[in-house]
């Protein structure tokens, strides 16, 4: 550290030194000296150290706005702690590492100097330690980075820059269609935020799915077609589902898969099905395949679930979007073009676009607005430990077994599996939100905190008391039965509320309502549920309470 401070002092004195050394090198005052020349005379060797994080793999990012390959160096750190601060799925780690290595190779092809710090070389290096080592080596005048999507990483950058007393230039992330400032302005001082109004603004502002002489009317006369997008598959099941494209593993991916299998052997999940785009080229193939083959049927059945059907008609684009291999504007434009050219069903295309232009942008805005409180929010004061079967799928509840097993196999579950199976169980089983949030951050390949936390703590667990949802997302086993075939292979019966064969999803749902009867009776969005509860006989309610108590006391046994 002493060496680093000494070098940093050199960097600080750079301004005064520069004139003298420029003259030594024959450069005119004010003219910049290249990295190589700087190295030759043993002075600070780079202007900007550009920190590129694992989810910032975008050649057009603001980090490169004034990039000068003769003056600047990129640093990318593969930090073990990024896989261990939550016990990450092997596929999640593999995806980040492979995509980072591919991106670094692309930068190097452009003759950009990249200090790429591999996990198997710098074994236990943290992000901070990696950046400090790079600072010591390259002695930059300043550090440049685009807004991190995780406050923990942002904090680490601040601490690093303060430690070495270097200016830190954090630049806005242009990948997003709504800046943090614009979102904060839209939210104002409102206590409760609603995605729907934000989404309408975004539609107007970006001219997406609009019509009318002033282009200010929603296409089709309606902003939201959600009610048409909630169909189940019916008894006959999903039928033929076009498969997503297969991505052959090149040498980089093969190396990474071997590395992860070796270094993270005890971590959850499988690498066997690893088939995520790791370059922009592959991400574009994934986008085309979705638009050509699955967008037309995406809408109506996007909430439906079926044993053995991991992906359905879903786009599988979240990883490419979150790593910034794809731009949300191009995804939205591709869907809009397909709607017009192929005369697709507006409800389905609107439903898809809403997820990206609406929910995705909204969640990012809320994350930065509500952190750090969001990380510790626990509206209901739930304290139960996460059942161990969340890491194994070893439970008798078939809906949870199927969803968790699929998650471990692929690092993927679709929105309703996350919200209405693993999330809903979490809230009615009174699991401490932070434990479940950490699980989501660990097991999904698309998990980055800015999008994971608001979805989990805010949407699924109501941990922030309904900041942007009007009611907790809870339902009985009847919902699971309607939307899937999970109940067919289950040892429990969805319609049984208590006693032998009672479905824990159902029992815990009624128990949850029972425990919050007054509050939910006063909320127009939940009052109907309470009406149904009050129709029950007292002894039935008592039996539910007793069974629920037993279940809550031993969630691992379910
Ligand atoms: P599709 O169903 O095809 O949707 C299209 C795109 O819309 C997605 O790729 C995604 O970019 C976006 N999108 C859809 N829903 C949301 C949403 N609620 N918030 C933000 N973007 C959305 N998404 C993540 O990207 N990372 C996460 O860590 C994550 N954690 C979640 C945790 C919970 C509890 C819940 C309920 C949802 C979570 N989501 C998360 C949102 C959503 O489930 C995933 O984006 C989606 O399942 C990814 O699959 P897909 O690409 O096939 O999406
Ligand atoms: Fe899930 Fe209950 Fe259906 Fe079993 S019966 S799959 S526990 S909802």
SS (H, E, C) 94-136: HHHHHHHHHHHHHHHHCCCCEEEECCCCCCCCCHHHHHHHHHH
What ligand has the least distance to the C-alpha of 477? 2
- Which residues contact ligand 1 via a Cβ below 6 A? 314-318, 321-322, 352, 355-356, 359-360, 363, 414-415, 418-419, 423, 440, 444, 446-447, 451-452, 455-456, 459-460
The answer, yes or no, to whether any atom of ligand 2 lies below 6 A from the CB of 477, is yes
Ligand 2 atom closest to the Cα of residue 492 is 5
pLDDT value of residue 32:
55
Q: Residue 49 phi/psi, 5° resolution?
A: -95, 115
Give the mean pLDDT of 56-83: 96
CA 337 / ligand 1 centre spacing (Å): 22
Nearest to 46 by CA among 138, 111, 170: 138
Nearest to 124 by CA among 94, 82, 172: 82
Is the pLDDT reported for residue 161 higher than 50? yes
Long-range pairs of 191-194 with CB within 8 A, sequence gap ≥ 24: 191/467, 192/466, 192/467, 192/468, 193/362, 193/366, 193/467, 193/468, 194/468, 194/470
Ligand 1 atom closest to the Cα of residue 459 is 36
Both tokens of residue 441?
Answer: 């951050």
Is the pLDDT reported for residue 43 higher than 70? no
pLDDT value of residue 1:
40
Confidence of residue 505 (pLDDT cuts 50, 70, 90): very high
pLDDT value of residue 7:
42
What DSSP assignment string belongs to 227-272?
A: GGS-----TT-----PPPPP----HHHHHHHHHHHHHTTTSSS-ST
How much is the mean pLDDT over the chain? 92
Q: Residue 61 phi/psi, 5° resolution?
A: -70, 155
pLDDT tens-digit profile of 309-349?
999 999 999 999 999 999 999 999 999 999 999 989 999 99
Ligand 1 atom closest to the Cα of residue 415 is 43
Both tokens of residue 26?
Answer: 């024959």
| CB burial of residue 272 (10 Å; 0-12, 13-18, 19+) | exposed
Could you count the other beta carbons within 10 Å of the beta carbon of residue 26? 8
Nearest to 99 by CA among 246, 244, 281: 281
Cα dihedral 393, 397, 403, 404, rounded to 10, equals: -20
- Of 243, 414, 415, 449, the one to substitute when testing ligand 1's pocket (max ligand atoms within 8 A of C-beta) is 415
Could you count the other beta carbons within 10 Å of the beta carbon of residue 71? 19
Q: Residue 338 phi/psi, 5° resolution?
A: -65, -40
Is the pLDDT reported for residue 99 higher than 90? yes
The answer, yes or no, to whether any atom of ligand 2 lies below 6 A from the CB of 395, is no
CA 301 / ligand 2 centre spacing (Å): 20
What ligand has the least distance to the C-alpha of 324? 1
CA atoms within 13 A on the CB side of 556: 6
User: What is the rounded CA–CA span in Å between residue 75 and residue 492?
Assistant: 53
Both tokens of residue 192?
Answer: 């409760």
Q: By the 8 A CB rule, do 105 and 124 touch?
A: no
Place of tokens 């997008």: 229
User: What is the rounded CA–CA span in Å between residue 115 and residue 52?
Assistant: 10
Q: Is the dihedral angle over the CA atoms 343, 348, 354, 359 positive or is it negative? A: negative
pLDDT tens-digit profile of 1-36?
444 444 444 344 433 443 343 433 444 444 555 555
Both tokens of residue 200?
Answer: 């309408």
Cα dihedral 308, 310, 314, 319, rounded to 10, equals: -170
Ligand 2 atom closest to the Cα of residue 421 is 1
Give the mean pLDDT of 199-228: 93
First to last CA, the chain: 53
- Of 393, 420, 481, the one to substitute when testing ligand 2's pocket (max ligand atoms within 8 A of C-beta) is 481
User: What is the rounded CA–CA span in Å between residue 395 and residue 111?
Assistant: 53
Q: Whose CA is nearest to atom 38 of ligand 1?
A: 455
Give the mean pLDDT of 396-413: 98
Nearest to 400 by CA among 496, 270, 487: 487
Nearest to 430 by CA among 548, 272, 538, 300: 548
CA 491 / ligand 2 centre spacing (Å): 8
Is the pLDDT reported for residue 40 higher than 70? no
User: What is the rounded CA–CA span in Å between residue 4 and residue 21?
Assistant: 22
User: What is the rounded CA–CA span in Å between residue 361 and residue 179?
Assistant: 9
State what percent of residues in the chain have pLDDT above 70.
92
CA atoms within 13 A on the CB side of 261: 10
Q: Whose CA is nearest to atom 52 of ligand 1?
A: 316
CA 486 / ligand 2 centre spacing (Å): 7
Helix (H, G, I), strand (E, B) or coil at 168: strand
- Of 229, 328, 355, 422, the one to substitute when testing ligand 1's pocket (max ligand atoms within 8 A of C-beta) is 355
The answer, yes or no, to whether any atom of ligand 2 lies below 6 A from the CB of 428, is no
pLDDT value of residue 39:
59
Higher pLDDT, 80 or 34: 80
pLDDT value of residue 124:
84
User: What is the rounded CA–CA span in Å between residue 537 and residue 328?
Assistant: 52
pLDDT tens-digit profile of 101-151?
999 999 999 999 999 999 999 988 899 999 999 999 999 999 999 999 999
Ligand 1 atom closest to the Cα of residue 321 is 11
């Amino acid at each position: 550290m002493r060496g680093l401070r000494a070098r940093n002092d050199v960097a600080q004195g750079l301004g005064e030194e520069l004139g003298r050394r420029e003259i030594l090198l024959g450069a005119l005052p004010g003219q910049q000296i290249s990295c190589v020349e700087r190295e030759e005379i043993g002075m600070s060797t780079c202007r900007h150290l550009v920190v590129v994080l694992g989810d910032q793999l975008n050649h057009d990012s603001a980090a490169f706005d004034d990039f000068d390959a003769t003056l600047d160096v990129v640093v990318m750190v593969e930090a073990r702690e990024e896989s261990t601060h939550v016990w990450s799925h092997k596929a999640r780690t593999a995806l980040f590492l492979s995509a980072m290595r591919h991106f670094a190779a692309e930068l190097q092809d452009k003759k950009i100097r990249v200090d790429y710090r591999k996990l198997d070389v710098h074994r236990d290096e943290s992000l901070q330690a990696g950046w400090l080592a790079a600072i010591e080596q390259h002695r930059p005048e300043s550090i440049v980075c685009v807004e991190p999507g995780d406050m923990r990483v942002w904090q680490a950058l601040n601490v690093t820059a303060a430690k070495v007393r270097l200016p830190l230039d954090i630049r806005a992330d242009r990948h997003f269609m709504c800046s943090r400032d614009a979102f904060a302005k839209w939210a104002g001082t409102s206590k409760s935020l609603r995605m729907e109004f934000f989404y309408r603004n975004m539609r107007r502002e970006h001219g997406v799915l609009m019509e009318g002489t002033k282009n200010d009317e929603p296409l089709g006369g309606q902003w939201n077609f959600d009610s048409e997008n909630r169909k189940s598959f019916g008894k006959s099941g999903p039928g033929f589902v076009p498969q997503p494209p297969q991505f052959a593993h090149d040498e980089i991916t093969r190396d990474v898969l071997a590395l992860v299998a070796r270094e993270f052997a005890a971590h959850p999940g499988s690498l066997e099905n690893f088939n995520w785009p790791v370059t922009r080229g592959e991400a574009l193939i994934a986008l085309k395949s979705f638009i050509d083959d699955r967008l037309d049927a995406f809408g109506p059945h996007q909430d439906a679930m079926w044993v053995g059907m991991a992906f359905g008609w879903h786009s599988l684009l979240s990883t490419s979007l979150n790593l910034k291999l794809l731009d949300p504007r191009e995804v939205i434009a591709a869907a809009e073009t397909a709607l017009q050219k192929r005369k697709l069903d507006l409800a389905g295309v609107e439903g898809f676009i809403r997820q990206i232009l609406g929910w995705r942008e909204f969640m990012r805005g809320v994350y930065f607005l509500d952190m750090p409180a969001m990380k510790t929010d626990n509206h209901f004061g739930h304290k139960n430990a996460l059942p161990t079967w969340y890491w194994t799928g070893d439970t008798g509840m078939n809906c949870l077994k199927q969803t968790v097993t699929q998650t471990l196999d692929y690092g993927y579950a679709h929105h309703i599996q996350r919200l209405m199976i693993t999330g809903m169980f979490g809230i009615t089983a009174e699991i401490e939100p932070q434990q479940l949030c950490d699980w989501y951050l660990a097991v999904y390949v698309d998990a980055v905190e800015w999008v994971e936390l608001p979805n989990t703590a805010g949407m699924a667990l109501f941990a922030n008391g309904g900041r942007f949802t009007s009611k907790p997302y809870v339902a009985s086993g009847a919902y699971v039965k309607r939307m899937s075939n999970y109940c067919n292979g289950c040892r429990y019966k969805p319609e049984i509320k208590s006693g032998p064969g009672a479905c824990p999803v159902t029992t815990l749902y009624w128990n949850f309502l029972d425990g919050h009867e007054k509050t939910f009776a006063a909320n127009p969005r939940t009052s109907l549920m309470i009406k149904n509860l009050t129709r029950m006989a007292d002894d039935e309610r008592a039996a539910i309470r007793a069974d629920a108590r037993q279940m809550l006391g031993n969630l691992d046994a379910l």
